[in-house]
Structures are given as C-alpha cells and as structure tokens.
Amino acid sequence: MPEMFKVLPPTDALKVLFDQLPADVRVETVSTADALDRVLAGNLVARSSLPAFPRSTMDGYAVRAADTFGATESLPAYLTVIGEVSMGCPSPLMVAPAQAAVVYTGGMIPPGADAVVMVERTQKLDSSTIEVLRAVAPGENVINVGEDVKEGESLFDAGHLLRPQDLGGLMALGITQLSVAARPRVAIVSTGDEVISPERTPGPGQIRDVNTYTIAGLVARAGGIPVPQGIFGDNYEILFSAARTALENADALVISAGSSVSTRDLTADVVNNLGKPGVLVHGVALRPGKPTILGACNGKPVIGLPGNPVSAMVVAGLFLTPILGRMQGIVTPPVRRRVTATLTHNISSAPGREDHVQVRLAERDGQFWAEPVFGKSNLIYTLVKSDGIVRVPLNASGLYRGEPVEVELF
Amino acid sequence: MPEMFKVLPPTDALKVLFDQLPADVRVETVSTADALDRVLAGNLVARSSLPAFPRSTMDGYAVRAADTFGATESLPAYLTVIGEVSMGCPSPLMVAPAQAAVVYTGGMIPPGADAVVMVERTQKLDSSTIEVLRAVAPGENVINVGEDVKEGESLFDAGHLLRPQDLGGLMALGITQLSVAARPRVAIVSTGDEVISPERTPGPGQIRDVNTYTIAGLVARAGGIPVPQGIFGDNYEILFSAARTALENADALVISAGSSVSTRDLTADVVNNLGKPGVLVHGVALRPGKPTILGACNGKPVIGLPGNPVSAMVVAGLFLTPILGRMQGIVTPPVRRRVTATLTHNISSAPGREDHVQVRLAERDGQFWAEPVFGKSNLIYTLVKSDGIVRVPLNASGLYRGEPVEVELF
C-alpha cells in the first residue's frame, strides 16, 4: 500500500472528500404525492393563506359574539336561526344582530358572524329560536384566515427531507409538483476472482457475492438508487473498464474490492485513473475498515471498500449516508435510530482509532443491554446476529462493562 | 355518537381489533435482492455451511502449525514454498511437513495445512524457502468450515424484518428467493362535501384534501402500499359504495371522515354494513383523536379517522404501524426513532386520556429541548413545524417544564 496517504479519522476523511465534490445538487420535478423522503431543492413560500376563509372548529351556531355577552343558563341569550351553512358551498347567509346560523366543524363562518357557540351550550326553543347558555368571545371556536399559514410565509427551506405531514401541508396549499434532489445513482462494482453470483453453486475456493446486496440496501436506505454492475476479476484492465462504464452512468461508484494487499492496490490504481484528483484518502483510522479508499473522479465520489463483508458494511454505513445526504443537499440529517444500553462486556480498542463494534441487544427489566458480537470481519453472520453498532471514540482505549453506551441500530 | 361503545385506551382498542383479525399472513415470493424491509414469512435454516472451505484471513503462507512451534526471530523455522493458492480455483497443492503455500486473504487453505503465517512474520530466503519468525497455533488466521454458519443452523425466524446485512447473509448461502409477507394494500377514502383535490382551486368554503397524502405517507412507512381512492361526498350511499369497492380490492381500509358529529355517525354506519362484525371501537381515550373508529369487516381492518389533519395523522401514526405490522407478521417491531429531551413548557392533560403533543426540537449545549407546538387540531402546519410527539401517559395529569421526555420523531 502506498504510504503517501495518511490514515485519517473518519470525519476528517469525509471532509477531505467533500472538499473535492461539487456543492450543487441534481434537481428533478416530482409529484408531491410521490415526494416522501425526497429532499427539497429550493425554498418554498406560501402563495395563499390557509385557511382561505374563517372556519368553525365545532358543530354549533355561528353568531355575533357581542350578542352572547352575559348569557348564562339562568339568563340565556335568545337568537333567531336563519339557516344552515352547507359544507363546501358559498353561503348566502348573512348573520345580523340577534341571529345565528347552524355551522358544522370545518364549515365556513358566514359574513356577520365572528364566533361559534358549541351546540352543547345551546337549547332549541322552536324551529327558529335558540337559547345560548354561555357567552363566547369574538373568534372563539373559529380558525381565522391565515391562522394555519399566512400568504408569503416561508414554508420550507431547500434541503428539507419531506415527511408525510409535509406532503399534506403542501397539498393543502395546492403545491402538487416539487423540485427535489434527484436520487443519486450509485454504481456497485464487486471484484474478486473467487466471487460468484449467488445463483451459482460455488466450486472449491469460490464464495458467493455478499457485498453487492448489503451495499445496495444501504444505498437505498440513504436515499440513493443502487445500480449493481456485477462481479469482475482481479485484473486492472477488466476492473478499470468496468469502473469507467459504471461511473459514466452513475453519480457515484462503490468498488467492493478484494481484501488482499494486491487487490487493494489495484483499486487505488483504478480510482487514480478514473478521473481527477483520484484517490484522496487511502486508509481510515477505523476498525473494521482501515483499508478504505475515498476518491473523487471528475466531481463524482468513489469509495473503495474492503472486501470483508463486515468491514464493507461498516464503512459503507459510515460514509454512504453522509455522502448521499450531501449529494441530495440535505441540511439536517435525520436522527438515527438508536437506544442507550448498558454494555455487558469490556471492549478494548486502541487510542487513535475509531472502533465500530457490533452488539446484540437484550431488553431486561425495562432496560437495554448491549452484548458485543465478536467475530472475524469475514463473517457476515456477525452482522446478521447483531442489532446495532457501538462506536468506541477515537481517543478511548476501550469501553467498560456496565457503562452506558449509545447503540446505533441497523 | 352512539354511546354503546366505551372509550378505550389506545392499547386496549388495538387489542379489541386484533382479536377480530385473522392471524395468517398473505405470502408472496420475491427475489432476495428486492427484499429489503420485507418480513420473512417462514423460518429459514442453512442448507449448507459457510464458508464451505477453510479460508485464510491474512495474506501469508498456509503451513502445518506444528512446523512452526518454537520458531522465533533468532531461531526461525525453515519451510519450502511449494506454490501459490489461486483465488477461486481448486488448489492442486498439498502441504506436506516442512512445506508452505502462498495464500491471500479469503483464499482456500490447501489440504495438509492448518494455519496461516502472516507475510509480515516471514522472511524470504530464496525463491522457494522462507523463514518463519513466529509460531502459529493450529487454526490461527483461518476461518474454519461452518465458522460463519453451520449446515442445519437456524438463520431467521418468520416475522423477521429484513435488513441490508440479512440480504447479504442469505445471498452468501445461495438463498436468492424468499417467501415474505405481501405488503398490505391500504385503501384510503377521503370524505367531505367541502374537500377537493389539491389540483383544483378551492371556491368559498372548500379546502384541499390533506389526509389522503399524510396517510399514504404513513402507510408507506409502515410497509404497506397506499391505494388512494379519491374524495367522496358526505352521503351514506356514495360513501358506502366507495368503501365497499375499496375494501374489495385492498387488505385494509382507512376512511378519513368529516369531523362533524353527523359525518362521524355516517362512517360508523358504513363500517357496520361493510362486513361482520363492523365497528368494534368508537372513541379512544386519546387527544387528539377521540372520535376514532376501529372496525373489522370480514377479517379486514377498517379505521375511521377524524377529519382534522392533526387528529387524523396522530391516530393513523398510532394505529397503522402496529396494524400493518401485524398483517405482515412482524414479531419484533423496529425501535422507533426517538430522542430524550427536556421539556420547555408545562403540558396539561387529563387523567384517563393519552395526550399526544407535537413538539419542536432544539439542540443547545449538546442537549435536546422539546418545545410543545400548541395549535388547534385543524392546523396541518402544527405538524409541519414539529419534529415529533411527546406522549402524556393515560394516568398523568400533565408533564412539567424541565422534565426529561421521550420524543418520538416523525
């Protein structure tokens, strides 16, 4: 491995990469109905007020509040009912002094009225007269024009990740199309003379491809579109040609390389020749995942992953989410799913290296316990049997049994 | 509202519904590559061992460990190198006493050898002789057959929600097709004479449909397929016909009803006539969301939501996830995204009712603060401006400023 590249802490490594990536975001227009989990590409301002008319929050009578002042059960106010406000229609009614109109929840307050008396606070005397048993203040049980959103109000800033309620809020204002960041297409190249497609039956010395599928899952979770390219042999010409084609048709490239020193160097050579500036980081202060390669080739990120399934997934999990988040212009990344748990065993580490240790969670006595799942990083089932990861910080020499730890759930 | 139905706490209401739903899960076969976030329909057992051959975890020399016993830098062991193990090919090599074979990380340990000496612990004397500078134990730097998974070992139980590493683990064993729970199709019927499609410009008294889109988003997040049916007027015949058609073509039905007493009764009548047993719960001890209807019609769940967007979303968020989880046979629901925060204001509640209060999160001094977003439940932007929900438990009369609270993030 060329030693000209320093082994960087993960956050520094990411910064080095980000400095070489363009800040602009590829934009596309989608229907708001299809925009869940997409990232807004521009700021949005309300073009109209919501609601556009005063609405009742109760079933009752639209009245002039002043007509009810002083009303009590023993001394009610008497009002003449002039009709009923139909839902969804312009109301021909006009509420004059000492008058009331039947109105339902969500219905329009007719002109003249400024409050609603709940039906439970009234008594019907005859077909056109009610007693109001309690006073209402002006505006009571009414949503005023613009109380939800005012025309000209800022709704969302660019970089906002859209949630179910956001789609509803946009639809309420008639915003049915949105400019959002395109989902980054991430090409996945798997390499290794010993690696075969999972459909095939391995011969002696052969293993089935694992990393294409774990990485594709992580890409999808991070908002990207995985574009698996297949499996390629450990040969510079073959790998370079595959990587070049893949990157031409994608926004980013992940190469899951072999784990031996020679194949790691192969990946670095390929990344250096794919575009400028090439390899930026070759080695990260991380376990597992030290031999990670981060590069930028003509503005597109390229990640070279260690071939071991555990290392590959830890590295992809650590770097893909922020890289794809940046490519989509996400401003505030969503909080990850995590729980606080008590560690059941000591974890040793080395200062100067961030350790990511898989743990299994158990819930006992209303409390989470995190049990480290130790295992060689070649064993995919150490990840399958785990619920999440505990990070041992860069400068810690380990974590102790009984300590509270944050477990990031897979 | 008919008072024959008791207002139940949310968990009891759900239990009443679950008791009337079938326990079986609709199953389909999917490609493992497409099975992210799907739920396994059956138990899976390993049909073969992983790895199927002993593999090296290092670049180095496959040796007989006994040949290295006692080796040190000053008194090395001398071994004859008989060749190199090619990746992915059956090795013709056979390691006899005092012999070694070059092997790379992930490569097959040739017959005769039982350990690997790291290349860094050796010195090359000539083209066919190495010095071994440190002893290795049998099995050192080797992954044995079945060390990842043993043939016959249980891999996953039915009801497991598939994560990226699970797909990789299945592919490693050649399991490329899976029986999973079908994603439940959830029909969404929106009602209200005042409600129009978001594409249209509202006239006086009209509002655009919000609930179809917030609910569709929640359905998708819970693993279901939203099937919006459109908007229907507040008329029994129209609504019943729409609901019947919708439920025939779906696995579950959500009716976002009007908020007035009359339209709520309309929904209850429709649910009662859609199939047996009909309405099970009419009213939940929940704010917002008290007028919720839970029903079962011929084995399919039907939810009647309050029409107010905030109530509708709180109720859908609370009930849809467990209902769709059950329909998919999920055994352990994933931990929700949540953070612990300090409450900035008092929240008052009433014992006997579970309050769900929207809060905005702020991060100050490395700590989260939860500020309640108070607002009438007709205002969709109270949800848009919120980051999550704080639950005030059934028997609490409120929460106090300064208290630590769990915020469930949207």
Domain boundaries, chain A: 10-26+183-327, 28-49+157-181, 55-143, 338-409
Say yes or no: B362 contacts chain A, CB-CB below 8 A: no
> Which pLDDT score is estimated for A90?
84
> How many Å lie between the alpha carbon of A18 and the closest alpha carbon of chain B?
25
- What are the tens digits of pLDDT across the range A145-198? 999 999 999 999 999 999 999 999 999 999 999 999 999 999 999 999 999 999
Say yes or no: A410 contacts chain B, CB-CB below 8 A: yes
Homologous superfamily of the A338-409 domain (CATH): MoeA, C-terminal, domain IV (2.40.340.10)
Question: CA of B361: which chain A residue's CA is closest?
Answer: A335
Q: Which residues of B55-87 are buried (b: 16+ CB within 10 A; e: fewer)?
A: bbbbbbbbbbbebbeebeeeebbebebbeebbb
> Which pLDDT score is estimated for B3?
44
CA–CA dist B13, B301 (Å, integer): 13
pLDDT surpasses 90 at A13: yes
Say yes or no: B366 contacts chain A, CB-CB below 8 A: no
Of all residues in chain B, the percent with pLDDT exceeding 90 is: 91
- Which residue bears the tokens 């040739």? B110
> How many Å lie between the alpha carbon of A382 and the closest alpha carbon of chain B?
8
- What are the tens digits of pLDDT across the range A116-138? 999 999 999 999 999 999 999 99
Backbone angles phi, psi at B180, to 5 degrees: -130, 165
pLDDT surpasses 60 at A1: no
**Number of other CB atoms surrounding residue B11 within 10 Å:** 12
> Which pLDDT score is estimated for A104?
93
pLDDT (average), residues B216-230: 98
pLDDT surpasses 80 at B37: yes
Side-chain-side CA neighbours of residue A135 (13 Å): 11
Decide the pairing of beta strands B252-256 and B185-191: parallel
pLDDT surpasses 50 at B11: yes
CA–CA dist A14, A20 (Å, integer): 10
Backbone angles phi, psi at A142, to 5 degrees: -125, 140
**pLDDT tier, B1 (very low <50, low <70, confident <90, very high otherwise):** very low
Judge if the upstream peptide bond of residue B92 is cis by omega within 30 degrees of 0. no
CA–CA dist A407, A92 (Å, integer): 62
B381 to A148: CB separation less than 8 angstroms, yes or no: yes
Backbone angles phi, psi at A248, to 5 degrees: -60, -35
Say yes or no: B169 contacts chain A, CB-CB below 8 A: yes
In a mutational test of the A interface, the residue from B91, B191, B213 whose CB has the highest number of chain A CBs within 10 Å is B213
Chain A residues with CB-CB distance to B193 below 8 A: 86-89
pLDDT (average), residues A100-115: 96
Radius of gyration, CA atoms only, chain B: 31
Q: Tell me yes or no: is domain A28-49+157-181 CATH 3.40.605.10.
A: no
A169 to B380: CB separation less than 8 angstroms, yes or no: yes
**How large is the ipTM?**
0.94
**pLDDT tier, A263 (very low <50, low <70, confident <90, very high otherwise):** confident
A262 to B104: CB separation less than 8 angstroms, yes or no: yes
Quick one: how far is CA A200 from the chain centroid? Answer: 36
pLDDT (average), residues B386-402: 95
Q: Tell me yes or no: is domain B10-26+182-327 CATH 3.90.1150.10.
A: no
pLDDT surpasses 80 at A260: no
Of all residues in chain A, the percent with pLDDT exceeding 70 is: 98
pLDDT (average), residues B287-312: 94
> Which pLDDT score is estimated for B5?
55
- What are the tens digits of pLDDT across the range A330-345? 999 988 999 999 999 9
B 266-305 residues with CB < 8 A to A: none
Give bridge partners of residue B191 from the DSSP assignment: B232
Backbone angles phi, psi at B68, to 5 degrees: -105, -5
Give bridge partners of residue B186 from the DSSP assignment: B226, B252
pLDDT (average), residues B232-254: 96
For the stretch A394-397, contacts whose Cβ atoms lie closer than 8 Å and that sit 24 or more positions apart, written own/partner, are: A394/A9, A394/A285, A394/A351, A394/A352, A394/A353, A394/A354, A395/A351, A395/A352, A396/A349, A396/A351, A397/A348, A397/A349, A397/A350, A397/A351
Question: CA of B204: which chain A residue's CA is closest?
Answer: A90
Give whole-number Cα distances, A165 to A168, A170, B91, B192, B212, in Å.
5, 9, 60, 19, 11
Cβ proximity of A44 and A160 under 8 Å: no
Question: How much is the pTM?
Answer: 0.95
CA–CA dist B380, B219 (Å, integer): 18
Closest Cα to residue A355, out of A298, A290, A260?
A290
Homologous superfamily of the A55-143 domain (CATH): Molybdopterin biosynthesis moea protein, domain 3. (2.170.190.11)
B106 to A307: CB separation less than 8 angstroms, yes or no: yes
**Number of other CB atoms surrounding residue B98 within 10 Å:** 12
- Which residue bears the tokens 């449909």? B209
B91 to A204: CB separation less than 8 angstroms, yes or no: yes
Sign of CA dihedral B117, B121, B124, B130: negative
> Which pLDDT score is estimated for A5?
55
> Which pLDDT score is estimated for A184?
98
In this structure, CATH architecture of domain A10-26+183-327: 3-Layer(aba) Sandwich (3.40)
> Which pLDDT score is estimated for B130?
98
Chain A residues with CB-CB distance to B309 below 8 A: 165, 168, 172
> Which pLDDT score is estimated for B307?
86
Chain A residues with CB-CB distance to B339 below 8 A: 335
A86 to B205: CB separation less than 8 angstroms, yes or no: yes
> Which pLDDT score is estimated for A3?
44
In this structure, CATH architecture of domain B27-50+147-181: Alpha-Beta Complex (3.90)
B259 to A203: CB separation less than 8 angstroms, yes or no: no
Radius of gyration, CA atoms only, chain A: 31
**pLDDT tier, A366 (very low <50, low <70, confident <90, very high otherwise):** confident
> Which pLDDT score is estimated for B263?
77
CA–CA dist B21, B18 (Å, integer): 5
Chain B residues with CB-CB distance to A336 below 8 A: 337
Cβ proximity of B244 and B274 under 8 Å: yes
B213 to A168: CB separation less than 8 angstroms, yes or no: yes
Question: CA of A383: which chain B residue's CA is closest?
Answer: B165
Backbone angles phi, psi at B243, to 5 degrees: -65, -40
B204 to A108: CB separation less than 8 angstroms, yes or no: yes
- SS3 of chain B: the string is CCCCCCCECHHHHHHHHHCCCCCCCCEEEEEHHHCCCCEECCCEECCCCECCCCEECCCEEEECHHHHCCCCCCCCEEEEEEEECCCCCCCCCCCCCCEEEEECCCCECCCCCCEEEEHHHEEEEECCEEEECCCCCCCCCEECCCCCECCCCEEECCCCECCHHHHHHHHHCCCCEEEEECCCEEEEEEECCCEECCCCCCCCCCEECCHHHHHHHHHHHCCCEEEEEEEECCCHHHHHHHHHHHHHCCCEEEEECCCCHHHHHHHHHHHHHHCCEEEEEECECEECCCCCEEEEECCEEEEEECCCHHHHHHHHHHHHHHHHHHHCCCCCCCCCCEEEEEECCCEECCCCCEEEEEEEEEEECCEEEEEECCCCCCCHHHHHCCCEEEEECCCCCEECCCCEEEEEEC
- What are the tens digits of pLDDT across the range B45-69? 999 999 999 999 999 999 999 999 9
> Which pLDDT score is estimated for A265?
85
Backbone angles phi, psi at A164, to 5 degrees: -55, -45
- What are the tens digits of pLDDT across the range B190-200? 999 999 999 99
CA–CA dist B170, B178 (Å, integer): 9
Chain A residues with CB-CB distance to B143 below 8 A: 376, 378-379
Chain A residues with CB-CB distance to B47 below 8 A: none
A88 to B258: CB separation less than 8 angstroms, yes or no: no
> How many Å lie between the alpha carbon of B397 and the closest alpha carbon of chain A?
23
